[in-house]
Structure 1
Amino acid sequence: MQSNSLCPALTFLLLFCTAMVHAVAGPGQRIVSANGTLSEILCGLGLEKQLIGVDVTSTYPASLEKIPKIGHNRTIAAEGILTLNPDVIIYTDQSLLLPAVVRQLKSSGKKVVEFKHEYSREGAIKLIRDVGAYFNATAQAEKLVKSLQADFTKVKTSASPKKLLFIYARGTGTLMVSGTDTSIDKMISLAGHKNAVSEFTEYKPLTAESLITANPDVLVLFSSGLESLQGMDGLLKVPGVANTNAGKNRKVISMDGQLLTGFGPRLGKAALELSQKVK
């Protein structure tokens, strides 16, 4: 009787252990990352050698440039990923992968894992810990978290917050401004300042009227965006820019796009750099 009573318990234990093995990735797995922040975290965890494919936002560290690219957001195709023969494909709920692509990847039998990514200090820390837990690198993840928290202690709250306006530019033909509920909006707050636009969420096309109405103290662009406008002189030729306080004072900040919007291990460094450049 005693032997029979132990069977269910032993069966449960075996099933539990099996489930735990499948809940986390094993060592040496071939990983494809469809998100720049996830790629950065994996490198910070010491797993860069397991990456066999990354999306085009995976720009940090620079060594990621040597890894095959799978595309960007909605241009990523399942076929391009599957030809790399990965063991696991990872992305976040902010990655903008097409649902049909995700379904195709899952139907292939490959392990496909989505991580939740909230654009906040707490969200960055949770993402680091979640990725660390999944890849059996909890100790390394805590080192990244500790470094991030240390960086934030250097960010000082401004006594007189400035109005910042972010312009997404890809030449003069594509100019968008960031409203609320974007990663840029959250970054501006973390740096101790305020978004010059609060009337709408997400992104909207830039107009001279809206620019003059917002009248930002500082304009913020990706470094690549400012280059696409031929630098400061080109930006000042955009209708409305020269009429703002930022334009009159030539107060323009450019930063690396992935650093500014990644909300990963370098979040504290990004907030610190932005706050220092505003001064």
Structure 2
Amino acid sequence: MKRINPLFFFGIISFTISSCNISGKTDNGNIEVDSLRIVSLNGTVSEILCDAGLEKQLVGVDVSSTYPISLKEVPKVGHNKKIPIEAVLALNPNLIIGTKEVPTETVEQFRQAGMRVILVDQEYSINGSRNMIKSITDSLKLKVKGDSILKRFDQDIQLVQAFEAENPKPKVLFIYARGTGTMMVGGNNTQVAKMIQLAGGLNVAKDFEEYKPLTPESLVNYNPDVILLFSSGLSSLGDKNGFMEVQGVKQTRAGKEGKIINMDGQLLSGFSPRLPNAIKELHTKIHE
């Protein structure tokens, strides 16, 4: 690996920004956009950077960075909570952008190596998406681009905001799956629970927080109208036919009526600039 000369980065300040305000100081105004070599540690961050015209500046992304599809060709650097430091530094970046979910020790190692680091809050709400777009584009002095993204976002979100108030609300159960050995039910305070609400559904698993293991008994007791999975999760179970063989599924209303639906994981849970599209797609699938 090429050794990094600390003097090259002398005077560059690492800083953290929240979705509401910026702390610290940046000298990004002295760096041409074309000279940026960015590693993104979050799929939604990557989407915003691409929307802002910085896709060519991405030299590495985390595994959740699946959109646009062209990011498939960009080197992957692991998951945002488990980032291999050496692999990132080997890409010779001059800017690392992620969310505050990146472990503190990882951030400190990047800073000790002379890297500039931008961390943003990620709140899973409509305003949270707006704030994230603004925080990233403002920090890179791309306000015009940011305003354009936000204008389009606000126009699109107006078309879907009424879904949340619709009645009746179908009862939806989200199952996170990675094969039959890993199946978890999504409860309160999850990204998908918020998405179900925005799309005019009711998250039926509201008796616990976050995630817990799926059991046949709980599946039957919840008796959802619709069962929702990530597309990758459903595929890991052998698609719809394979999932129907999971114990308890056929005893639910969703199983009896074949209401097993799936969506791309990053689209469904990323709260990215594509949030209006995600709400519309989920609304259509749970109500059709």
Normalization by structure 1: what TM-score? Answer: 0.89
Describe the SS at the equivalent of 2:279: helix
Aligned residue among 188, 193, 197 for 1:189: 197
How far residue 98 of structure 1 moved from its aligned partner, in angstroms, is: 3.1
Q: For 1:1-279, what aligned pairs fall within 5 Å after superposition?
A: 22=27, 26=31, 27=33, 28-94=35-101, 97-155=102-160, 156-157=162-163, 158-279=166-287
Q: Which runs of 5+ in 1 are unaligned?
A: 1-18
Normalization by structure 2: what TM-score? Answer: 0.86
Structure 1 range deviating more: 24-33 or 50-59: 24-33
Indicate the percent of aligned positions where both proteins have the same amino acid: 47
How far residue 154 of structure 1 moved from its aligned partner, in angstroms, is: 2.6
User: Is contact 1:25–1:136 with CA below 8 Å preserved after alignment?
Assistant: no
Give the greater-gyration-radius structure (CA): 1
Letter matched to residue 280 of structure 2: L
Alignment coverage as a number of residue pairs: 259
User: Is contact 1:220–1:254 with CA below 8 Å preserved after alignment?
Assistant: yes
How far residue 23 of structure 1 moved from its aligned partner, in angstroms, is: 6.2
Distance in 2 separating the partners of 1:117 and 1:90: 12
Letter matched to residue 254 of structure 1: N
**Structure 1 pair 138/25, CA: closer, same or farther in 2 (3 Å)?**
farther
Distance in 2 separating the partners of 1:150 and 1:252: 31
How far residue 92 of structure 1 moved from its aligned partner, in angstroms, is: 0.5
- The root-mean-square deviation of aligned C-alpha atoms, in Å, is 1.5
| Divergent runs of 4+, >6 A | none
**Structure 1 pair 102/25, CA: closer, same or farther in 2 (3 Å)?**
farther
Describe the SS at the equivalent of 2:141: coil
1:7 aligned residue: none
How far residue 74 of structure 1 moved from its aligned partner, in angstroms, is: 3.1
Distance in 2 separating the partners of 1:142 and 1:208: 48
User: Is contact 1:25–1:135 with CA below 8 Å preserved after alignment?
Assistant: no
How far residue 25 of structure 1 moved from its aligned partner, in angstroms, is: 7.7
Structure 1 range deviating more: 145-154 or 206-215: 145-154
> Any idea what the Cα deviations from partners look like across 1:156-201, whole Å, max 9, x if unmatched?
4322011111111111111011001011111111111110111111
Structure 1 range deviating more: 122-131 or 240-249: 240-249
User: Is contact 1:115–1:127 with CA below 8 Å preserved after alignment?
Assistant: yes
Letter matched to residue 203 of structure 2: N
Distance in 2 separating the partners of 1:182 and 1:218: 17
Q: Which runs of 5+ in 2 are unaligned?
A: 1-23
